[in-house]
Each structure stands twice: as structure tokens, then as C-alpha cells.
Structure 1
Amino acid sequence: MNKIAEVTLESIFAFIALFVLARLMGKRQIAQLSFFDYVTGITLGSIAASLSLDEVKLIQALISLIIWSGSTMFLSWLELKSYKIRVLMDGTAVVVVQNGEILERNLKKVKLTIDEMMQFLRDKNIFKLSDVEFAIFENSGHLTVLKKSELQPLTPKDAGIPVVSEHAPKLLIIDGHVMEQSLQDIGYSKEWLIGEVMKQGGVDFRDVFLAQIDSNGNLYVDLYRDKLKQPQIKQKALLAALLKKIQADFESFALQTENRSAKASYTEMREQLNKLVQTMLPYLKD
């Protein structure tokens, strides 16, 4: 085997081995990168590079990769099991400001200068130490700050204002395609949706790039740019869509209620509206 083919095969093997070992070590080592994890990552990369280019035997490189990655996983497991090991490896969070006063001893303990701390505070739009109730230097190297109570923003709870709980917005149309399940989850019909699209200047679902509804029922419709140049849909077409939407709502109400009297009333109103729509529809066409 020539040298180019050998380097190619060894590089592919090194890449696959690193990928597999990284997946085995999990996201924690990647998301919460400590100094030890940083050193370990460099070492694993160096071993893989040596396998690709240097005169290192395959079995030797594989054993070294397994030992380094296995040791990292073992230490992570120990940290989960033992608080003392966790403190030894990662340290603990330290309070550096309390009630607007700097704790100089703690500041020296975490090797943080005043200039660095003030920069951390400015990053959080805090320019006066007197505004700080607590500032904690976390293990991750970030500064967590709690402002004094009188300086914190007023919330609806503080003002005694009731608020409605929100749920995640739902996408109803993506690239001209209606998300049937999302529409069914919120209890709306296609007639209602096309009516809302027409109010925004569209004619068909295919005119819509994206449509999203929030927990308060507000619908956002984004039409394709070439559709924005079209004139707004006429009022007659809007009225026709609205009547169909009301008709679909009556049908939905009839299916949802368990009250026989209400079910019969909804069904009767739907049939009457259906007759009205059939009568008026020829006059509502442009």
C-alpha cells in the first residue's frame, strides 16, 4: 500500500474513532467544557493527528484513545456520584459582591480582577456596584448577578394583574402546505384559515410562505414576495370566506357539545347558513 492510501485510510479511521468516542462521552463534556476537558480534547486530537501522519501503529493509537476517553467518562461518572469529587474537579460558585460591597478575599480566591468584574457587570447593563444585591462567580466562568429588589423590573404579578398562560406558537402553513394536525389541535377549520389568508392579500394557501398563530389567537401570515404585489382581495370574496368559516364553526360546535339541545341548535343554524351561502354565493363571485 502506498503512503497516500495509507494516510487516507488512517485519517478516516481516526475521524471515525474520534466521532464514536465523542458520542460516547456525551454532550456534557462538550457543553460544560472545563480546563481538564479542554486538555483532554487537545490530547485526543493530537493522538488522532499522530495516527494520520506519524509513524504510530494503529493498535497503539487506538489503545491511547480508549484510555483517554475512558478516563474522561469515568471522572464524569464519579462527579455524578460524589459531591466531593465534583467540587475537586469543578470547584464551587463564589460570592464576589454582597449588598453592593466587593468581597476582596473571594475576588482573589477566584483570581478575578476588579476590571474583569466590572466588565461582567457592564455586560449585564449594570454600571454601579450599589445596584447589586449579589454577584456570584460560577464554575463556568460566568458572573451571575441579582439586582436589588427596588431596581428589578415590575412584573404583572407584582402589580396584581392576571395574565393568561401562553403555549408555544403553532405553525399552520409552511411553504404553501397546511399543517393539518396543528390546525386540528387549536380547533380551527380550513375555511377560517383561508379567510385570514385572504384578509392579508392572499388567494390560496399556496400564496403563503409561513403562517403562525400564538396562544392569544393572533395569526401572522407571511406571503411570498411576488404575491405582495397583487391587489388586496375584494370584499365579496372575504364575505364568502367568512360565511364558510362560520358554517364550519357551527359544525365543529355541534360535534364538540354533549348537550342534545345545543347540538340540534348548532346543526339547524349550520343548515340555515348553508342555504344562505348557496343562495348568495353566485352574487359573491367576482
Structure 2
Amino acid sequence: MPEWLDIAVRSAIFVVVLFFITKWLGKKQLSELSFFEYVTGMSIGSIGAEVATGLERNIFHGIIGIVIFAAIPFFSGLISLKSKGFRNFIEGKATVFIKDGKIMEDNLKKERYTTDELLELLRRKDVFQVSDVEFAVLEATGDLSVMLKKENQPLTAKDINLKVASIKEPQTIIMDGTIMDEPLATIGRSRAWLQTELEKLGVTIENVFLGQVNSYGELTIDLFDDKLQVAPPQERPLILSTLKKCQADLELFALGTESKDAKQMYRLNSEKLQEAIDKVTPILKG
């Protein structure tokens, strides 16, 4: 076998081996590497590259080395699940940088972080003033978690006792101009409904790059041609407008009738409808 072909075959084999080993180790190996896992990953890659290009080496010896390096973090992870002390030793512990609004200088020195580096981490969290922070901790992964002081936190619906409807994840029903039948069935819609909604927007399925349905049952789309503009969904604003018109009509009927009973009925129903409008307005405006 020619040397170049031997290298190509070895490389292809190790790509497959490394792929399955990475899948075996799990997603954490990609997203939240500890120091231990980082060193292991580098070693596995080095072994794979060496055996793929080192024609004098036995390919199976390289596979054995990779399996051993992969098994160490795997079994270490199993032990970490049962032992917090071992987990802290292998993965490290979080370090408090700011507590009760005060910077913990000793902890900064312990982790070898300068004040400039702390300010940089805060800016990455869109925090530009240390006095706005109540608590900040450096996670074992090197990411900084920040909790702002109560007065600096964004206002939520709960803070003003506002009831809002729960929101479900959007379902992608069109991708690359192709209808996705499974998510379409999940939301209880048919292809006929989808075709009707696309006709309302004046587009065809072939022109749609991505289509999603939100928790309110509204279809939003992104077209292949970015120069074309598509109007946003109008169902909720139309419902709100219709409710307000009905409420206004009831008030007019109450003013226009001479019957006391009818006047009272119209006024009572107008007030009830206004209460309903006040409750659903945050939803229909969202």
C-alpha cells in the first residue's frame, strides 16, 4: 500500500474512533472542560495524530492508548457522582469574587485574577459598575455568574403582580423549504392549515427558509430572499381590536337606549368585557 494511502486510511479510522469515544464521554467533554478533561483531550488528540501519521507504529497500540485516556475521565466522572470531595478535587470548586456587594480581594489573589480581569468578566455580563453587583462567583469552568442587587435587577411580571400566559417552545415546521410533518402534528395543525397561512402572507413553501409556530399558534417565517419583507402576525392585535370595538358598542347602546333595564344590561356587560380586556391585553399585545 502506498504511504499516502496508508496515512489516509489510518486518519479515517481514527476520526471514526475519536468520534465514538467523544460521544461516549458525553457533551460535557465539549462544553465544560475541567483541567483534567482538557489535558486528557489533548493527549487523546496527540495520540491519534501520532498513530495516524507514524507508519512504523502499530495502529492497535494507538487505539489502546486512546481508550485508556478516554476511560480515565469516564470512570472519574462516575466516582465524582458519588463523592463530592473527589469531584471538588478533579473539577475544582467555585470561588466567590463579590459578596454582599464587596470584592473579596483574597479570593482574587487565590485564583490569580487581577482587578482588570474581574471587570472584564463583569462587562461580559453587561455589568459596568461593581456597586450594582450583590454576588458574583467564578465557576469551576472559568465562567463568572453574577447576581445584581435587587434594585438593579430587571422588572418582571411577578414584581408587579401581573399574570402572564405560559409560553411553550416554538415548533419549527418548515426548514429549507421542506415541511416538517412531525412538529406540525405536535401542535395539531395540518398541511392545509399551513398552506392557508402561507397564502395569507403571500409566499409559497419553496421561498421559505425557516418557519416556526409560537405558543399562540402564530406562524412566523424567514425567506431565502432577505430583501423581501413579511408582515408580522396580526391575529392577536385583531382580536384585541375586536374586543375593544365590542366594548365601545355596548357603551353606545347603553347611552342610546331609553329602557332602564336595557341600559343597565348594556352597562354591566360593558364593564365585564372591559375587565376581560384588561386581563388579556398583556397577552394580545405581546
TM-score (norm 1): 0.67
Equivalent position of 2:68 in the other structure: 67
The CA distance in 2 between the partners of 1:201 and 1:159, in whole Å, is 40
Equivalent position of 2:6 in the other structure: 6
1:49 aligns with 2:49: yes
**Does the residue aligned with 1:75 lie in a helix, a strand or coil?**
helix
1:68-217 to 2 correspondences below 5 Å: 68-172=69-173, 186=187, 194-202=195-203, 211-217=211-217
Q: Which amino acid aligns with 1:155?
A: T
Deviations 1:68-121 (A, max 9, x none): 222222212221221111011112111111122111111112221111001111
Are residues 100 and 195 of structure 1, via their aligned partners in 2, closer, same or farther at CA, if it must alter by over 3 Å?
same
Query: Structure 1, unaligned stretches of length 5 or more?
Result: 230-286
Are residues 40 and 154 of structure 1, via their aligned partners in 2, closer, same or farther at CA, if it must alter by over 3 Å?
same
Greater shift in the superposed pair: 208-217 or 22-31: 208-217
Query: Structure 2, unaligned stretches of length 5 or more?
Result: 230-286
Deviations 1:217-276 (A, max 9, x none): 4333556759x79xxxxxxxxxxxxxxxxxxxxxxxxxxxxxxxxxxxxxxxxxxxxxxx
Deviation, structure 1 residue 181 = 6.0
Deviations 1:138-161 (A, max 9, x none): 101011110000111111111111
1:205-284 to 2 correspondences below 5 Å: 211-221=211-221
Equivalent position of 2:278 in the other structure: none
Q: Percent identity?
A: 39
The CA distance in 2 between the partners of 1:19 and 1:121, in whole Å, is 36
Contact 2:35 2:91 in 1 (8 A): no
Deviations 1:162-205 (A, max 9, x none): 10111122345566666666566555676765554443335x66
Deviation, structure 1 residue 132 = 0.7
Are residues 100 and 47 of structure 1, via their aligned partners in 2, closer, same or farther at CA, if it must alter by over 3 Å?
same
The CA distance in 2 between the partners of 1:5 and 1:221, in whole Å, is 47
Equivalent position of 2:59 in the other structure: 58
Q: Which amino acid aligns with 2:200?
A: K
Contact 1:197 1:221 in 2 (8 A): no
The CA distance in 2 between the partners of 1:17 and 1:177, in whole Å, is 34
The CA distance in 2 between the partners of 1:142 and 1:181, in whole Å, is 37
Are residues 34 and 177 of structure 1, via their aligned partners in 2, closer, same or farther at CA, if it must alter by over 3 Å?
closer
TM-score (norm 2): 0.67
Greater shift in the superposed pair: 61-70 or 135-144: 61-70
Q: Which amino acid aligns with 2:52?
A: S
- CA RMSD of superposed structures (Å): 3.2
The CA distance in 1 between the partners of 2:207 and 2:68, in whole Å, is 58
Give 1 or 2 for the bigger CA radius of gyration. 1
Equivalent position of 2:20 in the other structure: 20
The count of residues paired between Structure 1 and Structure 2 equals 228
The CA distance in 1 between the partners of 2:187 and 2:50, in whole Å, is 58
Deviation, structure 1 residue 124 = 1.6
Equivalent position of 1:39 in the other structure: 39
The CA distance in 1 between the partners of 2:9 and 2:224, in whole Å, is 48
Are residues 49 and 186 of structure 1, via their aligned partners in 2, closer, same or farther at CA, if it must alter by over 3 Å?
closer
